[in-house]
Every structure is written in structure tokens, then in C-alpha cells.
Amino acid sequence: MTVPAFELRDVEYRYQGVIALAGLSLVIPQGKRVVLLGANGSGKSTLLRLLDALYFPAAGQVLAFGEALDARRMANEDACFAFRRRVGFVFQNPDMQLFNASVFDELAFGPLQLHWPAERIRQQVETTLESMGLAHLRNRAPHRLSGGEKKRVALASVLILDPEVLLLDEPTASLDPESESQLIDTLIDWGGGAKTIVMATHDLDIVEDVADICVVMQQGRVIAQGTPGEILGDEELLGRTGLIHAHRHRHSHSGGAAHRHHHLHHGTRSTMPGATSKLVWRPLPRRKPEDA
Amino acid sequence: MSEQSFLDHSHQRGFLECQIGSLLAALEHASRAERLAQAPGLLQRFDPRVRLIAMLVLIGLVVSTHSLTTLYGLLAAAALMAFVSRVPLTILARGIWLNVLLFTGALALPAIFLVPGDSVFHVPLLGWAMTMQGLESAAFLVGRALTAATFAGLTILATPWPHLLKALRTLGVPAVMVVILCMTYRYIFLLLQSALDMFEARRSRQVGRLTGAEKRHMLVANAGVLLSKSLHLADEVYLAMQSRGYRGEQHALLEFRMAPLDWTALAVLLAITSVAFRFQAWGLG
Ligand SMILES: Nc1ncnc2c1ncn2[C@@H]1O[C@H](COP(=O)(O)OP(=O)(O)O)[C@@H](O)[C@H]1O
Ligand SMILES: [Mg+2]
């Protein structure tokens, strides 16, 4: 049994005294896709920032790959680079994440910080631009792109390092259904399904397609955990945590064109670990009804 | 309030908003000066370190020279450099010269009359005397400001921001200073953007016209919110940079290498400097 990607023990975090995480414990196994569910303010973003070693807990412990993740470890340059190389974070607001003058520079930023040789950086940027369908935007200013394009650039700028773990904060928020569908497909295909993904969201529509494990958060604690089937089937739990509204129902299959449901049609989940980690951007196969 | 006046109102931008808007546009332009920085011009072909050194030396010369010929010769050289570097003169004129002239002109104007000396012209009616010495000191004031600003502006326009920061580092400026510079730049941008957002949000839901004084009052009253909001944004940007391995060192995808052209540029720079000093020693100009 391999060590978990992350293990949190009674973690507490405060913003200037205001408690955001209150004794949170959680294990994130390697190679699993974990979805963090919770209403606004339940602590999802804070948790992700702790996992990315941007914040450190006031109390309790965070372990990454079996080792304590604390300020001391991150102060060491080699350990810090090793961690940054293994864990990538896609922020909720791409405007915050995109600060370079061009899409090309944006993708090159991470590899440059990690001291990759220049030739390798140029090559990798080109490959990633190509596979993410961004090649035509190479010289554009990132903050001038559309919402969906920004998100894709933000994702590409993290995936270029080929991390083992990908943290995503509400990746589908403010995306149109088409961009959302493309994003989900990229995530499912990424690394042949062998990578660890931790994604915060309150969009229940994407959970079933993406998640192996669902974690429900409320007021800075984990209050439930299970398979997507178990969690999504528990209407009482979802209602109590503010994830569904009384008169909403999931999966209405009536709509043809406006159908927003994703399907796991390529069986990527069972792909062997160690399969090629090449990422592929498929230019949108429009789903046919018989897929369902 | 009538529909008409509401529409009317929503189209109108106050003085403050225009100021913030144009500052933002200037910064925006600076951040996209990339296109100029990538233009196939002469200045763009020099090593960024050479550009920085040349800028500092030339500005030093501008500030210390006592010769008007040297001063305006350097200004002409700067304009020529802009031309061969494909930096449009309109950008220099509107972005730099106009502002400098307005600002230093206001300072220089009184000097024309106040500096004692041989009078060359009497203003009719007022009877004020323009003096030769007054004109000269005004010419120095304006010329120095114009020329120095042109050299600085040219260097910044022709050099991509990351290269400029990296050049500063390699010239021995401490990493901390470079980080501060880098973050200040982003911070100002975010601050201005949030100020503009605030005005726009207000405008979309306010009734009635705000006077200039009311707007200033609003800006001051919201300064705290504005500051903490943009601080928060800057924080977020910094976190995002850290997340991708940023540790305070500026890296750019470019190896600085001195080419023959760069050595030539340094030689020319040396020649200009020594000629200027010789000139001064001879008491010419
Ligand atoms: N920068 C901050 N300063 C102060 N309080 C914050 C800050 N960020 C988040 N919080 C508070 O921490 C709690 C958890 O927030 P967050 O992790 O952003 O939740 P979520 O991502 O689930 O919406 C909330 O009560 C929020 O108000
Ligand atoms: Mg959040």
C-alpha cells in the first residue's frame, strides 16, 4: 500500500482569529479523484491552500507523501522545488493566476522557476500549447482572453510541470457548458486517469463524472465522505449542507440540446497506473443521445 | 429622475475616473509594450544590461552637463534612437514630452522673468523683463527633464518587463529590491483596477449625479476598502506565483550574452561621454 498523497490530522486554520478550518481530518489516497463539496464559506479554498503549502495550519498536522508539510520543509529550496514539482494548483480566479505578458511566458513561468534548461522549457511549452489547443493564442496577453480560454491557459500553466497531484478550486465556476465539458474531459483523461486530483466545487452535476471519492464539508470540518453514489443519493445530507435546494432535482434527461450531464464513456478510470501521462485536448466530440 | 438623464449620466465619466482610466491605460500600455519591445529596432537588439547602463550613464550626463548644446544634442540623439528603434514619436510625445513640458514648464516660466540678468524683451503692459540668464536656466530645466525622461521611457518601452527585472538583478541590485519593484507594479495595477471597478459599480446603481467633490469624498471614504481589497488581490497573485515555484528570484527565458553590437554600443557611449566632458572643459556650448 503506497502512502497517501495527503493526510490531515485535526487541522485548524484561522484568518486573523476567524476560524476557517476547525479540527479537520482527511486522507487523500494517491491516484484518486477527490471532490470537496460544500456551500460557500465551508473552508474548501482554505483546505486547498493548506494542501499546496501556501498556508500552514495553526494546529494539527498536514502530511504530504508521508512527510510533514510545514514552513521548515518549504524553506529548504530543494524540498520546496520538489514539492512544487509534484503538486499543482489551479486557482479559482484565473485573473489572479495569470500575471505574465503572454500566454507563452505564462506557460514558461513554472518551469523557469524550477530551473529547467531553456531548451527543454521551449520544447515543453510548445508541446503543451499544442495539446491544450492553445497554440494560436501563444502571443496573446492572458488577461485579454475569454473566460474559458483563461481557464485553459491557467490549467496548461500548471499541467506543463506534469505534477502528480492537481488541486483545483471551483474549476467549472463561470464556464459555459461547452468549456465546462471540455475541461472535465481533459481532467478525466489527464495522466491516463492515474493522477491524484482534489477539486473543490458546489456543482453537483460534475461530481459523478469526475469523482472517485466525495468529501462533504461544513463549517471547516469534514462531515461526510463516500462514493459519489452514496453522497449524491443522500438528499437529506445535501439539503442540510446547502448543496441542493428543496425543489431542484438532478439529472433531468428531458432536455436534448441543453443537456449538461457528462458521461464516462471511455473507461479511463480503470486505466493502468503508469500509462502515458500525455494530456490530450479533444476539440469537443458533441455527445449523442445514444451515449446515455 | 428621468430615463434620459440616467442614460446621460451613465455615459459621462468624471474627471477622477478619466484620470484613473488613463493611468490604467498607460500601465496597460506599458504591460503590453511587449509589442514595441519585440519590434525589430536597434535598441531592442542591445543586451538589456547595456540598455540599463547606457540609460543610467546618459541620464547622469544630462543632469550634470553645463552645455545647452550637449543637452539638446542628447535629446536629438534620443529622438533619433526612438526612430531607429521603431518607437513611434507620437507615443513619446503624448506619453512623455507633453507631461514633462506641462510640469516643468510651469516651474520654468517664472524663472524666465525672475532670474536677474540682461533683459532681452519687455512684456507689453506688464513691463516684466525677460532675461538672457532666465531663458537659459529655463532651457536647462526643461531640457534636462525632457531628455532624462526620454532616455528612461525609451529603455522601458523597448525592454520586456521580465528582462528589465533580470537585468537589474545581474547588475547587482538586491533580489529584495527587485521583488518589491515587481510587486509594486502589479499592486498599482490592481489598485487602479479596483478603483475603477468601484466607480463603475457605483455608477450602475446610483441615482442622481455626483459632483466632483462628492466623488472625491467617495474615493477617500472608500480608500480603506479599496486598499484592503487590492492588497488582498496582490496577496492572491503572490500566492499563485509561489504555487508555481516563485521564491523571490526573477527568471526569464533568455540568456544575456554580449554580442559585438553591445561592445560597440558601450564604446559609443564612452565616446559620447568623453566628448561631452571635453566640450565642457573647453567652455563651449
Ligand atoms: N482572506 C480571508 N480573510 C478572512 N477570512 C477569510 C479569508 N478567506 C476566507 N475566509 C473565511 O474563511 C472561511 C472559509 O472560507 P473559504 O475557505 O474561502 O470557503 P469556501 O472556499 O468553501 O467558500 C469563510 O468563513 C471565510 O469567510
Ligand atoms: Mg472558495
C-alpha cell at B169: 538583478
Q: How far is A184 from chain B (nearest CA, A)?
A: 22
Q: Give the model's pLDDT for residue B234.
A: 74
Q: Give the model's pLDDT for residue A20.
A: 95
CB A101 within 8 A of CB B161: yes
Q: Give the model's pLDDT for residue A262.
A: 38
The span from the CA of B255 to the CA of B269, in Å, is: 23
> Which residue from A200, A244, A249, A197 is spatially nearest to A222, judged by alpha carbons?
A200
Least confident of A6-10, A285-289, B10-14, B125-129: A285-289
Residues with beta carbon inside 6 Å of ligand 1?
A 15, 18, 20, 38, 40-46
Task: Tell me the residue ranges of DSSP E strands in A80-232.
Answer: 87-90, 165-169, 196-201, 213-218, 221-226
> Which residue from B161, B152, B171, B150 is spatially nearest to B37, judged by alpha carbons?
B161
Q: Which ligand is nearest to the CA of A38?
A: 1
ipTM value, please give it: 0.78
φ and ψ at residue A222, rounded to 5 degrees:
-85, 120
CB B259 within 8 A of CB B47: yes
CB A39 within 8 A of CB A241: yes
Q: What is the DSSP string of B86-124?
A: T--HHHHIIIIIHHHHHHHHHHHHHHHHHS-S-EEEE-T
> Which residue from A35, A28, A19 is spatially nearest to A65, judged by alpha carbons?
A28
Q: Give the model's pLDDT for residue B79.
A: 92
The span from the CA of B256 to the CA of B170, in Å, is: 9
B160/A101 CB distance under 8 A:
yes
Ligand 2 centroid, distance to A51 Cα (angstroms):
14
Q: How far is B253 from chain A (nearest CA, A)?
A: 6
Q: Give the model's pLDDT for residue B100.
A: 87
The mean pLDDT value for B215-226 works out to: 71
Q: Give the model's pLDDT for residue A27.
A: 97
Q: Is residue A148 part of a domain?
A: yes
Instruction: Indicate the angle between helix axes B161-170 and B175-205, nearest 10 degrees.
Output: 150
* pLDDT grade for B253, boundaries at 50, 70 and 90: low
One-letter amino acid for residue B139 of the chain: A
Least confident of A263-272, B15-24, B68-77: A263-272
* pLDDT grade for B76, boundaries at 50, 70 and 90: very high
Q: Is residue A7 part of a domain?
A: no
Range of the domain at A155: 30-54+78-237
Using the atom order of ligand 1, give the atom closest to the CA of residue A169: 21
Q: Is residue A252 part of a domain?
A: no
The mean pLDDT value for B257-280 works out to: 85
Q: Is residue A274 part of a domain?
A: no
Instruction: Indicate the angle between helix axes B260-281 and B68-84, nearest 10 degrees.
Output: 160
Q: Is residue A129 part of a domain?
A: yes
Please enumerate in sequence order all residues whose Cβ is within 8 A of that of B207, keeping only pairs 6 or more positions apart, or say none: B1, B6
Which residues from chain B sit within 8 angstroms of residue A88, using beta carbons? Answer: 243-244
Q: Is residue A259 part of a domain?
A: no
CB B33 within 8 A of CB B248: no
* pLDDT grade for B33, boundaries at 50, 70 and 90: low
Q: Give the three-class secondary structure for A210.
A: helix
The span from the CA of B190 to the CA of B239, in Å, is: 15
pLDDT digits (tens, 9 = 90+) for B154-163: 888 888 777 7
CB A194 within 8 A of CB A166: no
Q: Which ligand is nearest to the CA of A39?
A: 1
The mean pLDDT value for B228-244 works out to: 82
Of B241, B243, B251, the CB nearest to A52: B243
Least confident of A123-132, B23-32, B121-130: B23-32
The mean pLDDT value for B142-168 works out to: 85
Ligand 1 centroid, distance to A39 Cα (angstroms):
11
- The pTM assigned to this predicted structure is 0.69
> Which DSSP symbol is given to A3?
P
Of B186, B247, B255, the CB nearest to A118: B255
Alpha helix segments (H runs only) across chain B? 3-11, 15-31, 34-37, 48-64, 68-84, 89-92, 98-114, 132-158, 161-170, 175-205, 212-221, 223-243, 260-281
Pocket test for ligand 1, best of A14, A18, A223 (most atoms within 8 A of CB): A18
Q: Give the model's pLDDT for residue A280.
A: 47
Core vs surface per residue A48-80: b (16+ CB within 10 A) or e: bbbbbbbbbbeebebbbbeeebeeebbeeeeeb
* Beta pairing, strands A221-226 & A213-218: antiparallel
One-letter amino acid for residue A65 of the chain: F
State the CATH number of the domain containing residue A105.
Answer: 3.40.50.300
The span from the CA of A148 to the CA of A158, in Å, is: 16
Pocket test for ligand 1, best of A11, A12, A14, A15 (most atoms within 8 A of CB): A15
> Which residue from A157, A158, A163 is spatially nearest to A105, judged by alpha carbons?
A157
How far apart, in Å, do the first and last CA atoms of chain B sit?
A: 66
The number of C-beta contacts closer than 8 angstroms across A and B is 69
Q: Give the model's pLDDT for residue A91.
A: 94
The mean pLDDT value for B248-263 works out to: 76
Which residues from chain A sit within 8 angstroms of residue B245, using beta carbons? Answer: 80-81, 84-85, 110, 113-114
Ligand 1 centroid, distance to A187 Cα (angstroms):
26
Least confident of A73-77, A117-121, B25-29, B71-75: B25-29
Per-residue pLDDT in tens (0 to 9) along chain A, 292 residues:
689 999 999 999 999 989 999 999 999 999 999 999 999 999 999 999 999 999 999 999 999 999 999 999 999 989 999 999 999 999 998 877 887 767 888 899 899 888 899 899 999 999 999 989 899 998 777 877 888 899 999 999 999 999 999 999 999 887 888 888 888 888 888 878 789 999 999 888 889 888 999 999 999 999 999 999 999 999 889 888 888 875 544 444 444 333 333 333 333 333 333 333 344 454 444 344 444 3
| Residue of B17 and B70 predicted with greater confidence | B70
| Residue of A9 and B258 predicted with greater confidence | A9
* pLDDT grade for B225, boundaries at 50, 70 and 90: confident
CB atoms within 10 A of CB A260: 13
C-alpha cell at A218: 461544513
**Which chain B residue lies closest to A119 (C-alpha atoms)?**
B253
Q: Give the model's pLDDT for residue A94.
A: 86
Number of structural domains found in chain A: 1
The mean pLDDT value for B1-13 works out to: 41
Q: Is residue A160 part of a domain?
A: yes
Instruction: Give the length of chain A.
Output: 292
* pLDDT grade for B187, boundaries at 50, 70 and 90: low
Q: Is residue A260 part of a domain?
A: no
Question: Quick one: which H or E segment has residue B243?
Answer: helix B223-243
* pLDDT grade for B279, boundaries at 50, 70 and 90: confident
